[in-house]
């Protein structure tokens, strides 16, 4: 299985953008384009609903040794061999997520400020999301934090840091120039004419 340290482009398959009938096809396209970490996110979906999809997507991701992370519901990791879970500031603390999973898994945490990033490392997260960097329709209620703290967070936090929020190929260079090494892209990738080509373009820029 690919280690987090090797991961640069994190793709989220968000059920708000992808029809349930397309999940495995989207996962395959992401992998072909070089996405090296995938999350399944279904805001408002129950554990049962999300769990049913996780199984199918995991069959695809495991074939290419790509970790699959499930959003919000650590208990799913008890039933299905996903590699990790992702929790937000209002979700289970990292320690509780690990307990609910009942086995050794990756736990990622969303952070929206430098202080939250430092706290997430103290809490024992394996990686963090840091953002939203720019305003985003995917998380419309969160004010963007901008590029300013990206360098500082990389200096002070030694976890893999994935910048997230409103990132696309047109603004990616500014995020890289601000110090980012890893990014999450949701809507720009899922809405792209070709997910494969879009992901290739991003991975080239991050290389
Ligand atoms: N957390 C912070 S911003 C965000 C999440 C889940 C959404 C990112 O989506 P997009 O479409 O790439 O802006
Ligand atoms: Mg959450």
Give per-residue pLDDT as tens, 146-194. Answer: 999 999 999 999 999 999 999 999 999 999 999 999 999 999 999 999 9
Atom of ligand 1 nearest to the CA of 189: 12
Query: What percentage of the chain reaches a pLDDT higher than 70?
Result: 100
Say if CB 51 and CB 76 are below 8 A apart.
yes
Give the confidence band of 118 by pLDDT, cuts at 50, 70, 90.
very high
CA-nearest residue, atom 6 of ligand 1: 139
Q: Is 139 a catalytic residue?
A: yes
Say if CB 145 and CB 131 are below 8 A apart.
yes
Residue 37: per-residue pLDDT: 98
The verdict on the CB of residue 108 being under 6 Å from ligand 1 is: no
Residue 194: per-residue pLDDT: 98
CA-nearest residue, atom 2 of ligand 1: 132
Q: Is 110 a catalytic residue?
A: yes
CA distances in angstroms from 2 to 7, 15, 36, 71, 121, listed in the order given: 8, 24, 8, 19, 21
Q: Of the candidates 41, 36, 38, which has an alpha carbon nearest to the alpha carbon of residue 20?
A: 41
Q: Is 41 a catalytic residue?
A: yes
Give the confidence band of 206 by pLDDT, cuts at 50, 70, 90.
very high
Average pLDDT of span 96-111: 98
Give the confidence band of 56 by pLDDT, cuts at 50, 70, 90.
very high
Residue 95: per-residue pLDDT: 98
Query: What percentage of the chain reaches a pLDDT higher than 90?
Result: 96
Catalytic position from the list 8, 45, 110, 182: 110
The verdict on the CB of residue 164 being under 6 Å from ligand 1 is: yes
Q: Return all residues near 177 (Cβ < 8 A) that are at least 6 apart.
A: none
The verdict on the CB of residue 153 being under 6 Å from ligand 1 is: no
Q: Return all residues near 160 (Cβ < 8 A) that are at least 6 apart.
A: 4, 5, 7, 126, 127, 128, 182
**Ligand 2 geometric centre to CA of 88 (Å):** 4
Nearest ligand, CA 143 = 1
Q: 70 in helix, strand or coil?
A: strand
């Amino acid at each position: 299985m690919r280690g987090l340290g090797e991961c640069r482009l994190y793709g989220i398959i968000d059920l708000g953008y992808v029809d349930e009938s397309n999940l495995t096809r989207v996962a395959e396209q992401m992998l072909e384009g070089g996405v090296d970490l995938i999350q399944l996110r279904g805001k408002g979906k129950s554990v049962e609903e999300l769990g049913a999809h996780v199984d199918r997507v995991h069959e695809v991701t495991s074939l290419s040794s790509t970790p699959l992370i499930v959003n919000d519901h650590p208990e799913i990791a008890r039933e299905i061999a996903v590699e990790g879970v992702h929790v937000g500031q209002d979700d289970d603390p990292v320690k509780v997520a690990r307990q609910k999973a009942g086995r050794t898994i990756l736990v990622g945490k969303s952070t929206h400020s430098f202080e939250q990033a430092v706290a997430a490392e103290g809490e024992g997260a394996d990686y963090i999301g840091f953002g939203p960097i720019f305003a985003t329709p995917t998380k419309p209620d969160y004010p963007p934090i901008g590029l300013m703290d990206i360098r500082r967070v990389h200096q002070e936090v030694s976890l893999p840091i994935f910048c997230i929020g409103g990132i696309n190929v047109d603004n990616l260079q500014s995020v890289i120039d601000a110090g980012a090494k890893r990014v999450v892209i949701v809507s720009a990738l899922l809405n792209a004419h070709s997910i494969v080509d879009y992901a290739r373009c991003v991975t080239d820029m991050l290389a």
